[in-house]
Structure 1
Amino acid sequence: MQQQHPAMIHRRTALSRLGALSVVAATPFVASCAGPQVQQYAQEKPLLDLRTYFTGTIDAWGVFTDRSGQVVKRFTVVMDCSWNGDEGVLDEAFVYSDGTKQRRVWKLKAGPNGSYTGRADDVVGEASGHVSGNAFRWGYTLALPVDGRVWNVDFDDWMYLMDDRVMLNKATMSKWGVKLGEVTLSFTRRTPLAAKPG
C-alpha cells in the first residue's frame, strides 16, 4: 500500500528542481520481485560489455518527465569514461535546458557474473547492478537538495544496448514507494565498438 507523507511535494516547481538535480545517470535499487528481471534478457543481442561500452567519450540526450508524463527538464551529457582492470571512472558533465550545469563522477567496480557496484559523492551507500544479454539494471539512492532540504530518491535504472554506438536508458524515480517521475536518455559513443582495440 502506498504511503502518503506530508513532505511529498506535488508542486511542479519542486519536481522541476528535482528533475534538474537527479538525472543519471545516468545514467543505478529498489529491485522488487514484480516486473521484469534482467536475466530475462540473457539471450538478447548485441551482448553488452559495460567496460567496453563505457570507454572513451559518450554523448547523451535526455528528458525528465513528471508523474503526469509532462517533460519538465531537458539535458545533455558528455561522459569521459575509462577503466583500469575491474575499476572504472565515468565522469559526467550535465547541461540542463535552463542553463544550469552539474557534474557527477561515478567510480565503478566489476564483480563476478556480470555484477557491478558503484559510488559517487551524492549517492547514498553503494549502487549495485547486473548485466545480462543486451541489458543492464542499475539501482541506487541519490541525495538530492530540493527547496532547502535533502531528499533520498530511489532510482531503478535500465539500459539497453541497441548497436555498436547507441544505448537507450530509462530510469524510474521514487520516494517512499511513490513514483516521482522518469528519466529517459539516449547514449551515443563517438567511436563505434567495432573500432575499439581488444
Structure 2
Amino acid sequence: MAIDTFAGTTPLFLPERFFIGRLEGGAVVESLVGGLLKRAAISGHGELDSDTDTIVFTETYMFDDGHSDTLKWTIRKISEGQYTGHENRLEGKAIGEQAGCAFHWKYTRDTPQGDGKSFKLNFDDWFYAIDDRTSMVRGSAGRAGIPFATAHVAYKKI
C-alpha cells in the first residue's frame, strides 16, 4: 500500500505530536496462520528536543511470558512526510513516511526473545490515527524479507 493513499485523511498522525508525553498500550502478536503467539502491555514516554528538533521516545513492552524489551528511539523529521529513526539495536536506520492519518515505519532490529536469545527481524509497521489521543498499529515481523508474524497494537496518550 502506498502512503499517498492516505493524503487528505484526518485526523493527522504526526510523530512529532503523537509520541510526545506519556502513552500506554497493548499488543497481540499472531502467527500468519492466526494463532496467538504473545501479548504485551506497553508504556512509553516521549519528549521533543527543540535544539535538534528530534523526538526522544522510549517504549517498554512487558510480555506475557515475563520478559521485557525497551526501545529508545530518536526520530527526526527530515522533510515533509519523511522521517528517520535510530535505536541502539537497529541495523542501519528506520525509515518513516507520513500522509494524513497514517505513518509507515520500517526497520530491521536485533530483537530480544523470552528465552534469552535475540533475532534480527524486519519490521513493517502501519500506524493509523483514530483520534488525537489514540492510534492503532498493524505491523509485520519477519526475516530475510519474509513475514511470519503480525502485531496488532493500540496506543493511547495519557
What's the TM-score once normalised by structure 2's chain length? 0.91
Structure 1 residue aligned with 2:66: 99
2:31 pairs with 1:63: no
Give the counterpart letter for 2:6 in structure 1. Answer: Y
User: What is the deviation of 1:132?
Assistant: 0.3
Secondary structure of 1:39's partner? Answer: helix
Distance in 2 between residues matched to 1:131 and 1:39, nearest whole Å: 9
User: What is the deviation of 1:135?
Assistant: 0.2
Alignment of 1:1-198 (within 5 A): 36-85=1-50, 86-145=53-112, 150-190=118-158
Seen in structure 2, the aligned counterparts of structure 1 residues 56 and 170 have a Cα distance that, compared at 3 Å, is same
Distance in 2 between residues matched to 1:150 and 1:98, nearest whole Å: 15
Distance in 2 between residues matched to 1:149 and 1:162, nearest whole Å: 35
Question: Which of the two has greater strand per residue?
Answer: 2
Deviations 1:29-60 (A, max 9, x none): xxxxxxx1111100111122221111100001
Rg larger in 1 or in 2?
Answer: 1
Give the counterpart letter for 1:41 in structure 2. Answer: F
Give the counterpart letter for 1:142 in structure 2. Answer: R
Distance in 2 between residues matched to 1:148 and 1:135, nearest whole Å: 34
Give the counterpart letter for 2:128 in structure 1. Answer: Y
Distance in 2 between residues matched to 1:175 and 1:100, nearest whole Å: 21
Distance in 2 between residues matched to 1:68 and 1:96, nearest whole Å: 21
What's the RMSD between the two structures over aligned residues?
1.6
- Native 8 Å contact 2:69 2:112 kept in 1: no
Distance in 2 between residues matched to 1:148 and 1:79, nearest whole Å: 23
Distance in 2 between residues matched to 1:148 and 1:101, nearest whole Å: 11
Question: Which of the two has greater helix per residue?
Answer: 1
What's the TM-score once normalised by structure 1's chain length? 0.74
Give the counterpart letter for 2:31 in structure 1. Answer: D
